[in-house]
Amino acid sequence: MDRLEEELRENDRQEFSRRLTRFREIDEWFQVPPGGLSLGSDWEATLAFQEARFAYVSGLWISAILCAGTALERHLAWRLMHVFNKNTEHLKAKEITDSAMEAGLIDRQQADEISKLRSYRNAHAHFRRDSRYVETLHAQMESLRDDESVDGVDANLVLRPEARAAVMLASAYFLAAGIDESSHPEEPGS
């Protein structure tokens, strides 16, 4: 066994219980009903949703956030294309969310949650002079400064709450969309 294989196996050994815990979390959030569900024909949205879940399990926080946001945006745009029978390919994320709410595909609370996810996504996907990661890290360190029982902040877990919220939101959305068959709107012209 070479050095790289040894490192990978050691990492697997150390991280397995945490990954299993996170896998159980996402399994609770997304229980496929006995009759199954369908997420429609936008394969990239489905793949992005699956990647968001696997990224969360693996502790890849930014990837989980980016993929969850991508999955929601793509699936809503696909559904809107069928509802309005118009091209939604070049709509901005906010326009997609607003249009989906107007069309009754999502409610105000879901739109607000998607908007919050979009702010997470944008903070990590686009360069910002003031890093969201550093701001979050400093805020966590400050909140724990006077707590002597805590030995510090695990820098690897700083973005976990945002990733968790992103994957939970995507799970709730896709579960509802798949169960009520809103992933299969009428084809345009049918």
Is the predicted pLDDT of residue 35 greater than 90, yes or no? no
pLDDT (average), residues 129-144: 84
Which residue type sits at 66?
Answer: L
Angle between helices 108-125 and 132-144 (to 10 degrees): 100
Q: Compute φ and ψ for 31, nearest 5 degrees.
A: -95, 110
Model confidence pLDDT, tens digit, residues 7-30: 989 988 988 999 999 999 998 888
Token pair recorded at residue 76: 């809503």
User: Which has more confidence, 59 or 1?
Assistant: 59
User: Which has more confidence, 177 or 54?
Assistant: 54
Are 68 and 170 a contacting pair, CB within 8 Å?
A: yes
Are 117 and 69 a contacting pair, CB within 8 Å?
A: yes
Are 37 and 46 a contacting pair, CB within 8 Å?
A: no
Number of Cβ within a 10 Å radius of residue 170: 29
Domains and CATH numbers, the chain: 39-179 (1.20.120)
Q: Per residue, what are the HEC states of 50-63?
A: HHHHHHHHHCCHHH
The average confidence (pLDDT) of the chain is: 85
pLDDT at residue 181, rounded to an integer: 52
Q: Look at residues 100, 81, 101 and name the one whose alpha carbon lies nearest to residue 89.
A: 81
pTM exceeding 0.85: no
Model confidence pLDDT, tens digit, residues 152-170: 677 778 889 999 999 999 9
Alpha-helical regions (H) of 87-159: 93-102, 108-125, 132-144
Is the predicted pLDDT of residue 72 greater than 70, yes or no? yes
The residue written with tokens 């973005």 in the block is 159
